[in-house]
Structure 1
Amino acid sequence: MGYMQWLLIRFSLKLFFLATLCFCLVSSSWAQPDGFSQSENDKFLIPEQMTPSEGKECLSPEQKIASEEEEFLTSEQKILSEKGEFPTRGQKTLLLNAGSMAVIFVYGLSQWDYGKDGFHFENERWFERDTRYGGADKSGHFWSSYALSHLYSYVYRKWGYTEKEANLYGALSNLGVHTFMEVADGFSSQGFSHEDLIMNVAGTGVAYVWGKVPYLAKKIDLRMEYTPEFDSRDFGFPTNYERQKFLVALKADGFDFISNRYLRYLELHAGYYAHGYKDYREGGSDDRRRHLYFGIGFNVSKLVQKFVKTRVLDYFQIPYTSAGKGLPLD
């Protein structure tokens, strides 16, 4: 490595970490200032065309409980509660964002060769058959950005942010963390992929819209199905695209005109997956195949919520709980 290249890498890394530090410091200021009084319209994300009672029907059980508790607190009590909190919401927000990036950085140093190369771009392309994963990795970036945005939003709601704030800050946190990862990739053999960044932004945008318009989330889920290969030691869930399927689920439970209690467990699925890429070697046999997927499924999340208050299965499709057909694109 030449001296000039070494200097360029050092300068790029310093600039990268400076931008990361600025993002983390800005995120700590997201907490409401002490004198801030939350308006009634900001408590929940209820579309303007809906009445308050209709809007509350779109809220999760946790959100409904929070709304009832919030109504009994005066502005002074909210302010005193925030003052007596340690760590404060701002400090917890800083730790959450900085901690997420630190975990990615440490893992990247050990597994992804972070810092071994100067910053460079990599044109990975999209869903073409001759790409590295047949586009399954792009679907993965979209889904992970969507799911993690909602996970961050959930954490922010638990920390006392309003629904409007939690939805926005969850999207910003996810976008910041995923962008950190993409830029860090630019300092490894993988390179910076603008395609990955675009899919991250798209997934984050959909997550924000779903959070802002709850009745969409009631009708449509974006899920990932992962079927592990138990006779293999490769359980690399995040990047084992060979075992993943990404799908959109249209839920009968979200439509009031479907009154039959059994039919309300029905779902219509549409998705995408690509297989045969893991073992492909140039010059060898070519079993790479891309598929569109259409099928019907069972709403496992609706069943589970009868016993446990969780919406995790709104983001994951349990294997063997759907039946469908893959339409080959090759």
Structure 2
Amino acid sequence: MLTTGLCCIMALPIVAPPDPAVSDADPAELPAPVDAPPVAPIRIANFPRLSEVETRAPDDDRAPLRDAPRAGGGVVDHLRSIPWEAGGVAAGITALGIFNWNWGSSGFHFSSEGWFGRDTSSFGSDKLGHAYSTYVMTEFLSAAIRRNARAPKRAQVSAAAISMALMTYVEVFDGFSGDHGFAWEDMAANTAGAAFSVLRHTVPGLNDKLDFRLHYIPSGNVGWRPITDYSGQRYVLAVKLAGFEPFADGPSRFVELHGGYYARGFTEREKLRGVEPKRALFVGIGFNLQQLISRDRGEKSRFHRAARSALEYVQVPYTAAYSR
């Protein structure tokens, strides 16, 4: 009861007793009220979020302001930031599937394609083709996210997820092709390509030291088709000495160490020409063409930036010597 009574008393409005001098005065003699300045209403929306507040180091008032982190991010936001890039890739692979991979020519089925054995359709070159395609797609989409996204953090991971979604789309529709079928080996190769892209941009300095490239010279089987002419391909891992500090400034920065895989003699046309079936690992030494393009100049020119970027993924023919 006491507590209830105190609460009731505290809830009552506090009214001061009237001032007799004021209450008895003639209203005409009372001073005119003073207009108080308007008070702006307090709105929560006017206050900045905690993440947007610029802060200083607590122990030094003269410390420079730190940039606040930007909100947003994630796969969905990153995908929304690159609609044209992702849509263009999807349209491109759809066209390839319809016109080159015979999508829709059969009912859905699985296919066990194997890896690099002589009993496989291309001695494993198609598996490296899947890994390389997913790798390049991840690299392209991650660069687009970094350019366009509001919060590009983890762009590489988002790009890998988007690339895997697109390549899964490819594999599902391969299941409706009489020439192919859904193959778990292809999915594993796709995963390896996306993971390599993430690794290359996660380990500090690795992207300056190691490239995954396609070397292509038409085989004479199907014309100029660098994506599907497996007999004309070599897949190259290139170690660039320019990415290592002791070799960054001297003539050795032009030197690359190569290793890779290729296969020949597995197509019907090659068999008719008498090409001997061959699966080969190779090593070699190459010339780093990127070093001919100045980094400083490349930062100012879109053409130079594009050229430097392309040379990370394409091995120009006749710029390397291989063991076999």
Q: TM-score, normalised by structure 1?
A: 0.68
Counterpart amino acid of residue 253 in structure 1: A
Counterpart amino acid of residue 148 in structure 1: M
Counterpart amino acid of residue 120 in structure 1: H
Q: 1:214 to 1:151 in 2, by over 3 A?
A: farther
Distance 2:65 2:85 in 1: 29
Distance 2:319 2:118 in 1: 28
Q: 1:282 to 1:238 in 2, by over 3 A?
A: closer
Q: 1:167 aligns with which of 135, 156, 163?
A: 156
Structure with higher RCO (Cα < 8 A, 6+ apart): 1
Aligned partner of 1:314 in structure 2 is 312
Q: 1:90 to 1:257 in 2, by over 3 A?
A: closer
Q: 1:311 to 1:39 in 2, by over 3 A?
A: farther
Distance 2:234 2:213 in 1: 8
Aligned partner of 1:20 in structure 2 is none
SS in 2 for 1:249: strand
Q: 1:176 aligns with which of 155, 165, 181?
A: 165
Counterpart amino acid of residue 194 in structure 2: T
Aligned partner of 1:221 in structure 2 is 211
1:110 to partner: Cα distance: 2.9
SS in 2 for 1:270: strand
1:261 partnered with 2:259: no
SS in 2 for 1:314: coil
Counterpart amino acid of residue 176 in structure 2: F
Aligned partner of 1:6 in structure 2 is none
1:72 to partner: Cα distance: 10
Tell me which structure has the larger Cα radius of gyration: 2
Which structure: greater helix fraction?
A: 1
Report sequence identity in percent: 33
Contact 1:280 1:287 in 2 (8 A): no
1:293 partnered with 2:291: no
Q: Which runs of 4+ in 1 moved over 4 A?
A: 35-40, 71-76, 280-286
Aligned partner of 1:128 in structure 2 is 117
Distance 1:161 1:174 in 2: 20
Distance 2:52 2:144 in 1: 19
What is the CA deviation profile of residues 161-205 of structure 1, one whole-angstrom value per residue up to 9, with x for unaligned ones? Answer: 545331111111111111110111001111011111100001101
Distance 1:36 1:142 in 2: 43
Q: 1:97 to 1:285 in 2, by over 3 A?
A: same
Aligned partner of 1:138 in structure 2 is 127
Contact 1:108 1:114 in 2 (8 A): yes
1:288 to partner: Cα distance: 1.0
1:155 to partner: Cα distance: 0.7
Cα root mean square deviation, aligned: 3.2
Distance 2:271 2:282 in 1: 27
Aligned partner of 2:189 in structure 1 is 199
Unpaired runs of at least 5, structure 1: 1-34, 41-70, 83-87
Counterpart amino acid of residue 268 in structure 1: L
What is the CA deviation profile of residues 112-137 of structure 1, one whole-angstrom value per residue up to 9, with x for unaligned ones? Answer: 22223221111110000221111111
What is the CA deviation profile of residues 198-234 of structure 1, one whole-angstrom value per residue up to 9, with x for unaligned ones? Answer: 00001101111111123111111111111236x7761
Contact 1:248 1:270 in 2 (8 A): yes
Counterpart amino acid of residue 265 in structure 1: F
Distance 2:249 2:79 in 1: 47
SS in 1 for 2:245: coil
Instruction: Tell me the matched-pair count.
Output: 253
Q: 1:259 to 1:210 in 2, by over 3 A?
A: closer
Counterparts of 1:1-330 in structure 2 under 5 Å?
Answer: 91-189=80-178, 190-228=180-218, 234-258=223-247, 261-279=250-268, 287-306=276-295, 308-309=304-305, 310-326=308-324
Q: 1:114 to 1:202 in 2, by over 3 A?
A: same
Q: 1:270 to 1:36 in 2, by over 3 A?
A: farther
